Amino acid sequence: MRIDVVTIFPEYLEPLNVSLVGKARVRGTLDVRVHDLREWTHDRHNTVDDTPYGGGPGMVMKPDVWGEALDAVAASGEGEGAPALVVPTPSGRSFTQELAVELAAKPWLVFAPARYEGIDRRVIDDYATRWEVHEVSIGDYVLAGGEAAVLVITEAVARLLPGVLGNAESHRDDSFAPGAMADLLEGPVYTKPPVWRERGIPEVLLSGHHGRIARWRRDEAFRRTAAHRPDLIERCDPAAFDKHDRAL
Ligand code: 6GU
């Protein structure tokens, strides 16, 4: 997969050199290219923003600069087809594991994170006539810019690429992964030593009884979900639990 990021803060994307995403880049699974938006300015001050039409606070990112930048990035991938454009914005649709899976299937993503009050609307409207465009929010809070969202989305997508996680099974019980545990958060996990600060391990985990262990994990996941995310309990399918238990 190829990922391009156009930003006025290229340094903000340095974490893409670290850990899972950094390793995927070194191995060639992921081709990440970070570009400074100001490369496509023409004035002495490298202006990327201007005052909003209709008045109001803040500044709006200029369409001409973004247009040149996105055209140049697209041209650098001649023959690869059109990329999917991802625009992080608090007014986008919610980023979910489902969208991460959808984006992980694309050969090429271009991220356009905004600062200030956002990008001139005509940019999104223009590219949407030729490219697939996803306006995405990573949660119900406001960040100073979309760069942190690019890090979040890239990590969620990269770990789904074939060969990036050491163990394909690692996906299976993920909170929000499809299957019998869909819509449940993961319960607690334990490792050695068996006693730490006088705290032991739940007996069932030492029993070697795989069916009982799976059932216990499901119950713990349910308990945790009810406590932290009652909204997810509403969505879950009791028939999936029965099927899960019959498989044990
Ligand atoms: Cl994607 N951008 C900004 N600026 N704020 C956010 C966000 C994105 N998602 C949630 N809050």
143-187 pLDDT, tens digit per residue, is: 999 999 999 999 999 999 998 987 555 676 566 665 557 689 999
pLDDT 10s digits, 9-19: 999 999 999 99
CA 116 remoteness from chain centre: 22
Query: What per-residue confidence (pLDDT) applies to 222?
Result: 96
Q: Is 120 known to be catalytic?
A: no
Question: 24 with 17: CB under 8 angstroms?
Answer: no
Q: Which CATH architecture has domain 172-246?
A: Orthogonal Bundle (1.10)
Closest Cα to atom 7 of ligand 1: 90
Q: What is the pLDDT of residue 68?
A: 98
Phi first, then psi, for residue 238 (nearest 5°) are -55, -30
- Going from the Cα of 113 to the center of ligand 1, the distance in angstroms, rounded, reads 9
Extents of the domains making up the chain: 2-158, 172-246
Ranges 45-54, 186-195, 213-222, 229-238: which has the least confidence:
229-238
Which class does domain 2-158 fall in? alpha beta
Q: What is the tens place of the pLDDT at every residue in 210-229?
A: 999 999 999 999 999 999 99
Q: Active site includes 117?
A: yes
159's tokens: 């770990």
pLDDT of residue 168: 58
State residue 247's pLDDT score.
81
